[in-house]
């Protein structure tokens, strides 16, 4: 049985009357699942005339409740608490602005017995990941420098930024249409580069990025070196992983079509770490060559009003080449999605479905790696019950979204998951996060491809301008891939409740945001 810590449950369910009265207010756009605002300081805009400072607070408190696949005698059913506090100060002076931000992370009560000594079973959920990544500590806590940058802003959408910052690919433009905006935030962004927003310590980059564009198009370039973080509470150091991104985005058809072409260069110089792929363990341990990959692709979002609602269509595809250590890389991925939203019904119910496939490797002894590599994503945007990711993966899904109030969104997904290749691995994780482990975990498929089915439901309520309450429950039915590794019980559950609080004030004005 899943257990919910009473403190967080009370915070989530016992809402003051004043909060309920705020439902009539104007909502903020709902963020993608697993992501957070790129900058807490963006809550308010300082006046360029007086150059005041803006101070901001962003706090997320969550209670996670796991029942991983059973691996006796190890603990697969547990709860823990986590907190992420972000404190920021920023200022704008004419064409320049700057921001400095620190983060305080804490995870309390993670189990010390949720890591199996059976290699294929490994860490039994994210609680085991936090424990292992922080020196076998059940109460990891740290404070670190999250962001610090200076930016020059030209006229319109033209700026250049230098320093430490978060970066989210796929959100270079800001659609005005709410359907297009939801699709961009929930079905386009962070497939390959993100901050791993569901984790406590997150991810930043030390580097430079620039935007150049107008109302209908945008050219974005970024080069950066990834920081430590995600499950490792100390987000201060850099790791020996760097990437480059170039993307061109354009809107067309009066804002009903959004198109993007992109290229990503990725380098992993952590040559002392064993890579996750389907080669024999001894062969992988002897491979000390760098990973150098190029990923090139594009995506399209389109909407078309029809009858009492709007059709939507999403396509995303990418190819990948380069060097996977001693192997050559050749891989690809594609997704097709469509839906219909009843925009003239008060709650705007939305019915969607789609199919996702990434290549896997069928030969563990040749000189090629055909497993699509997901780079540095936020995997939970697309795998809300996070025991898998988009590597060697085939996913057919349907989903329903409804908004009982403008500030309250309900969503439910049903997924049918398979591995693309039974000779490859069952992959999970979101990429490099320190210099000790690879970041993506691989478990053997044992010749099977039938993986799992997943049902989930979520509630996201922006109760006031400053407070949000979110909840999630997911259940997965493991099939032959899972059963070969966890024969005792091949089902999985995750439930959580979450409170997000944001506050900001501009000095000299007294204006609170």
> CB-hemisphere CA count at 13 Å for 54?
24
Tokens of 322: 């380069």
pTM recorded for the entire structure: 0.89
Q: How far apart are CA 482 and CA 389, in angstroms?
A: 15
- Assigned token pair, 415: 């997924």
Q: DSSP letters along 363-384, please?
A: -TTSSEE-PPP--B--GGGT-S
Decide if 3 contacts 61 (C-beta within 8 A): no
Q: Where are the domains of the chain?
A: 6-512
Which CATH number applies to 6-512?
2.40.160.100
Tell me if 170 sits within 8 A of 261, measured CB to CB. Answer: no
* Nearby residues of 498 by Cβ (< 8 Å), 6 or more positions away: 8, 12, 60, 61, 62, 63, 469, 470, 471, 472
**E strand or H helix that includes residue 164:** strand 158-165
Which residue from 384, 388, 308 is spatially nearest to 351, judged by alpha carbons? Answer: 308
- Do 116 and 58 touch, CB atoms closer than 8 A? no
pLDDT in single tens digits along all 513 residues of the chain:
454 444 333 433 333 333 333 333 333 334 444 444 444 444 344 444 568 999 999 999 999 999 999 999 999 999 999 999 999 999 999 999 999 999 999 999 999 999 999 999 999 999 999 999 999 999 999 999 999 999 999 988 899 999 999 999 999 998 989 999 999 999 999 999 999 999 999 999 999 999 999 889 999 999 999 999 999 999 999 999 999 999 999 999 999 999 999 999 999 999 999 999 999 999 999 999 999 999 999 999 999 999 999 999 999 999 999 999 999 999 999 999 999 999 999 999 999 999 999 999 999 999 999 999 999 999 999 999 999 999 999 999 999 999 999 999 999 999 999 999 999 999 999 999 999 999 999 999 999 999 999 999 999 999 999 999 999 999 999 999 999 999 999 999 999 999 999 999 887 665 666
What tokens appear for 152 in the block?
């020059």
Distance of CA 175 to the CA centre of its chain: 20
CA 192 to the chain's CA centroid: 9
């Amino acid at each position: 049985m899943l257990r919910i810590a009473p403190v967080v449950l009370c915070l989530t369910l016992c809402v003051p009357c004043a909060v309920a009265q705020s439902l009539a207010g104007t909502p903020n756009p709902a963020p993608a699942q697993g992501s957070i605002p790129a900058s807490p300081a963006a809550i308010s805009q300082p006046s360029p005339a007086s150059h005041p400072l803006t101070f901001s607070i962003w706090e997320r408190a969550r209670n996670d409740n796991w029942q991983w696949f059973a691996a006796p005698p190890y603990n697969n059913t547990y709860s823990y608490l986590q907190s992420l506090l972000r404190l920021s100060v920023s200022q704008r002076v004419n064409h320049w602005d700057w921001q400095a931000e620190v983060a305080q992370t804490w995870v309390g009560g993670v189990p010390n017995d949720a890591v199996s000594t059976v290699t294929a079973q490994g860490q039994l959920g994210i609680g085991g990941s936090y424990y292992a990544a922080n020196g076998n500590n059940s109460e990891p806590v740290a404070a670190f420098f999250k962001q610090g940058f200076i930016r020059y802003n030209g006229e319109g959408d033209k700026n250049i930024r230098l320093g430490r910052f978060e970066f989210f690919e796929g959100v270079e433009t800001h659609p005005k249409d709410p359907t297009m905006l939801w699709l961009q935030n929930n079905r386009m962004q962070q497939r390959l580069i993100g901050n791993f927003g569901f984790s406590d310590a997150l991810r930043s980059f030390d580097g430079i990025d620039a935007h150049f564009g107008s109302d209908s198009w945008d050219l974005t370039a970024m080069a950066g070196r990834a920081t430590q973080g995600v499950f490792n509470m100390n987000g201060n150091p850099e790791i020996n992983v760097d990437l480059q991104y170039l993307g061109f985005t354009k809107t067309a058809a009066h804002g009903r079509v959004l198109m993007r072409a992109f290229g990503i260069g990725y380098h992993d110089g952590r040559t002392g770490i064993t890579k996750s792929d389907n080669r024999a363990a001894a062969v992988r341990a002897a491979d000390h060559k760098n990973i150098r990959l190029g990923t090139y692709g594009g995506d399209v979002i389109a909407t078309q009003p029809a009858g009492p609602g709007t059709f939507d269509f999403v396509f995303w595809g990418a190819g990948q080449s380069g060097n996977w250590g001693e192997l050559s890389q050749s891989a690809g991925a594609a997704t097709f999605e469509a839906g219909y939203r009843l925009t003239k019904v008060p709650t705007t119910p939305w019915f969607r479905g789609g199919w996702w496939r990434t290549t896997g490797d069928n030969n563990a002894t040749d000189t090629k790696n055909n497993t699509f590599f997901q780079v540095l994503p936020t995997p939970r945007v697309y795998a809300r019950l996070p025991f898998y990711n988009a590597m060697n993966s085939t996913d057919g899904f349907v989903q329903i979204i409804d908004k009982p109030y403008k500030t309250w969104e309900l969503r439910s997904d049903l997924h049918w998951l398979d591995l693309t290749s039974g000779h490859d691995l069952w992959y999970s994780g979101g990429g490099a996060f320190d210099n000790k482990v690879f970041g993506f975990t691989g478990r053997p498929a044992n010749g099977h491809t039938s993986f799992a089915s997943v049902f989930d439901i979520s509630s996201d309520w922006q109760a006031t301008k400053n407070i949000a309450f979110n909840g999630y429950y997911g259940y997965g039915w493991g099939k032959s891939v899972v059963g070969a590794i966890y024969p005792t019980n091949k089902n999985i559950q995750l439930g959580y409740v979450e409170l997000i609080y944001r506050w900001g004030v501009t000095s000299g004005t007294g204006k609170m945001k």
